[in-house]
Amino acid sequence: MSKHAYVFPGQGSQFVGMGKDLYESNAQAKELFEKANEILGFRITDLMFGGTDEDLRKTRVTQPAIFLHSVIRAVVMGDDFRPAMVAGHSLGEFSALVAAGAMKFEDGLRLVEQRALAMQEACELVSGTMAAVLALDDEKVEAVCAETEGVVVPANYNCPGQLVISGAYAAVEAACEGMKAAGAKRALILPVGGAFHSPLMEPAREKLAKAIEATEIVAPRCAIYQNVTASAVMDQDEIKRNLVAQLTAPVRWTQSVRAMVADGAVMFTEVGPGKVLQGLVKKIAAEVEAESIA
C-alpha cells in the first residue's frame, strides 16, 4: 500500500519573512503565533517576519522559529494533513511529534526553547564546529573520524555522498584534511555555532533530559521515524529516550528515509521553511515523489 510521509526541516532552513503569510491570512495561525510570543516572552514574530538574517541565525531564535513555521503550517492544513508516517531532521523531530499529536503545541515550544538555550550554553563551554564532507562513502568518513585524534564524529547522514562531521575545532580541521586525502571532493568547515550531535553536547543532553522527562508525550497518530534509530516508533517512553539521545547522537536521515520507503512511503511532503529535505529525499530515493509546502 502506498503511503504519504511528512517530513519537517531543522536548523538552517530559516529565512526572513517566514510564516508572515500564514499570520496574515489565517486566524488560527495568528492565534498560535501570538500564543508563542507570550510563551517565549518576546515577539519572535517580529524577528521572523521582518528581522535580519543575523537575528534568525541566533540559536535562541532559529529553533523556535523553524518549529513554529513547521507546526503551524501543518495545523492549518486541517483534515488535509493525513500522514501515514512522519520524521524530522534534528530540531524537526520536535515539529513532527507535535504535528502528529504526540505533544501539545505549548509543550513542544517550551522544549524547543530549552533545547536551544541548552545547546547554546554547551557551545560556549568548548570550541566546536561542524564540516560537510562531499562525495565520500559513509564508511570511509567513519573510518577517518575514528583515526583522527580528538573528538570528531559523524553527525548528519544527510544523503549518499553528503555527511556532516562534528566535534572539537582542531579535530574537525584535522579530519577534513584526512577526508580529502581519502578522496572526498570537498571537506568544508560550516559556519555554525558549535559541535551539534557530538559528545560535546553532553551538558545540553543532561539539561534537556529533565525537561523531556517532565513533558507529557502520548502515542502519535502515526509512526515517527526518529533520528537515533531510523526506524518506526510509537511507544511514548521510547520516543522520550530517543529525543534525549538525539543531542549527542548522529542524525540518521539517509537511513530514516530508506526505512520509510521500505515501509511503503511513495510521497514525501516537507512541511516548513525551505526545500532542503525535499532535495535530500530525492537524492536518497529517486523513485519517490517529493514536494515542499513552505
Q: Which contacts (CB < 8 Å, 24+ apart) does range 145-151 have?
A: 145/175, 147/178, 148/174, 148/175, 148/178, 149/174, 150/174, 151/195, 151/198, 151/199, 151/200
CA pair distance 184, 14, nearest whole angstrom: 28
**Choosing from 13, 69, 95, 197, which is the catalytic residue?**
197
- Coil vs helix vs strand at 207: helix
**10 Å Cβ neighbour count for 85?**
24
What distance, in Å, lies between the first and last C-alpha atoms of the chain? 27
CB 236 within 8 A of CB 253: no
**Choosing from 90, 95, 198, 256, which is the catalytic residue?**
90
Give catalytic status of residue 197 as yes or no.
yes
CA pair distance 176, 60, nearest whole angstrom: 29
Residue 11 has, within 13 A of its CA and on its CB side, a CA count of 24
Could you list the active site residues? 90, 197
